[in-house]
């Protein structure tokens, strides 16, 4: 049974490749605007389901479609991808010296029977206190611009994160151990 990653994310693909998974990718671009009052957990699960549905409608089974959405949240506020350098700076200033949560919604659809497994994984990320100069230097790398919360733990921002509580891969964008468990529930094997 083949695996299909419903994403164009290089980070998610790298996680799967590095873990030894063989898969294909199908783009799943959708409107990611939160609904008014929507919780971060509800948002990521809704978006993961929408991405999975979009790709499952185009895929040919037998296959398992894997879709995910990751958001950074602090004090009930959802930090999406920054719209500008100033937006990225504001995000990093708010995260500086604080502990925030990274939530990822995952949806798997097995084809052709359309059975579905969904879950949300959450990881706490402790961020060091950053000086204005450190933020400026980090923004100059360009790494912040297409990342939820304006940082990449697997990149240069890793030096600002002394500790996490939970799954590291969740912070990158795909909770690997939970994904493996869900694939096993579906009867998937590497053969």
Token reading at 13: 């693909």
Query: Cα(56)–Cα(65) distance, rounded to whole angstroms?
Result: 6
Q: Are 123 and 166 in contact (CB under 8 A)?
A: yes
DSSP line for 17-62: HHTT--EEE-------PPPTT--HHHHHHHHHHHHHHHHHHH--SS
Catalytic sites, residue numbers: 69
Closest by Cα among 73, 69, 20 to 49: 69
For the chain, how far is it from start to end, CA to CA, in angstroms?
8
Q: Which residue has the tokens 């030894």?
A: 20
Helices (H) and strands (E) in the chain, counts: 6, 7
Closest by Cα among 5, 11, 140, 149 to 80: 149
């Amino acid at each position: 049974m083949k695996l299909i990653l419903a994403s164009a994310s290089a980070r998610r693909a790298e996680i799967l490749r590095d873990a030894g998974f063989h898969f294909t990718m199908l783009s799943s671009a959708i409107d990611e605007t939160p609904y008014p009052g929507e919780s971060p957990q509800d948002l990521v699960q809704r978006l993961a389901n929408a991405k999975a549905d979009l790709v499952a409608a185009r895929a040919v089974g037998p296959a398992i479609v894997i879709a995910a959405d990751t958001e950074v949240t602090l004090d009930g506020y959802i930090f999406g991808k920054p719209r500008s350098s100033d937006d990225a700076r504001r995000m990093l200033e708010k995260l500086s010296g604080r502990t925030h949560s990274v939530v990822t919604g995952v949806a798997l659809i097995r084809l052709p029977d359309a059975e579905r497994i969904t879950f949300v994984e959450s990881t706490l990320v402790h961020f060091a206190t950053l000086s204005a100069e450190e933020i400026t230097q980090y923004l100059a790398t360009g790494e912040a611009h297409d990342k939820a919360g304006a940082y990449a733990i697997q990149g240069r921002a890793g030096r600002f994160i002394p500790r996490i509580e939970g799954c590291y891969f969740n912070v990158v964008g795909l909770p690997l151990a939970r994904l493996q468990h869900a694939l096993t529930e579906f009867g998937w094997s590497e053969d």
